[in-house]
Amino acid sequence: MRLLRIVTWTCLSGLVAWITPSAPAADSPGSPAPAYELRPPSRDGIGKFFLDREIAHVMGHQGAPWLERPERTDEERPDLLHSLLGLRPGLVVADIGAGTGYHAWRIAQVIGPSGRVYAVDIQPEMLSLLATNLARRSITNVVGVLGTLTDPKLPDDSIDLALMVDVYHEFDHPREMLAAITRALKPGGRVAFVEFRGEQVSVPIKPLHKMTEAQVRKEAEIQPRLRWAGTRKELPWQHLIFFEKTPSPPTTESRP
């Protein structure tokens, strides 16, 4: 899955890099948030950097056939991934950047009619393809959701598991989007990052479309209500990195 990105560039004479003013993160009023930085873009990036990582170009709905390629079952092992997610009947799952529903309909079968999948995308064309694929399989417990660049449009404290498969590295506003996803998690809910391993040169994916475990953790850990809950390495080419939402915001004890 890939999310549609809209970027507006402002050209200034002699500009080498531009750092956006620090602004409070959505979940931590009053505390400085890491800034985005604009630099000359690389071939596969948009020139927007977050914590020294260039955000990758997005794949639009025109690339939907790639999401359904037969080789994907061997390259990414969705069956193994879903077994590692701890899915069970009745869970509420958000598939962020669901695209054609490659993962959504499979997860829906595992969690059963008592569970629900919110399949989030910001491309209406992807949601149309999703609806077609669901109807073909008679899947009724998946709900398509049209999100935005900064908000998945999910109710607060409603999600047991938010899954992002090969999509986080393309978020135009990763800080804001992850804050909104965190708000949508139930206390104790989990977010799962699935990203091609940036540490492994042999993984045949463009470098900006891969992430190291360290970079994922660096970016997620700025969210005050997310804590690392473990990394699984069984997938052929990808990290599976879990974070958990803390039951309540951290508090600072006053000292006499």
Q: Taking the domains of the chain in order of start, what are their residue ranges?
A: 61-245
Distances (CA, A) of 201 to 23, 143, 178, 204, 222: 35, 37, 27, 8, 27
pLDDT tier, 32 (very low <50, low <70, confident <90, very high otherwise): confident
Q: What is the mean pLDDT of the chain?
A: 88
Q: What DSSP string runs through 49-71?
A: EETTEEEEPPP-GGGHHHHT-TT
Question: Token pair 């391993």 is at which residue?
Answer: 197
Q: What is the pLDDT of residues 92-110, one digit of tens each?
A: 999 999 999 999 999 999 9
Task: Give per-residue pLDDT as tens, 181-210.
Answer: 999 999 999 999 999 999 999 999 999 999
Q: Please say if the pLDDT value at position 249 is more than 80.
A: no
Summarize pLDDT for 62-91 with one digit per residue, the tens.
878 889 999 999 999 999 999 999 999 999
Q: How far is CA 101 from CA 12, 65, 94, 198, in A?
A: 41, 12, 11, 25
Superfamily of domain 61-245: Vaccinia Virus protein VP39 (3.40.50.150)
Is the pLDDT at 250 greater than 80? The verdict is no
In the prediction, which pLDDT does 31 show? Answer: 63
Alpha carbon of residue 52 to chain centroid: 18
DSSP state of 156: T
- Asked if residue 134 lies in contact with residue 127, where contact means CB atoms within 8 angstroms, the answer is no
Quote the distance between the C-alpha of residue 28 and its chain's center. Answer: 20
Query: pLDDT class for 132, splitting at 50, 70, 90?
Result: very high
Radius of gyration of the chain (CA): 18
Q: What is the pTM of this model?
A: 0.86
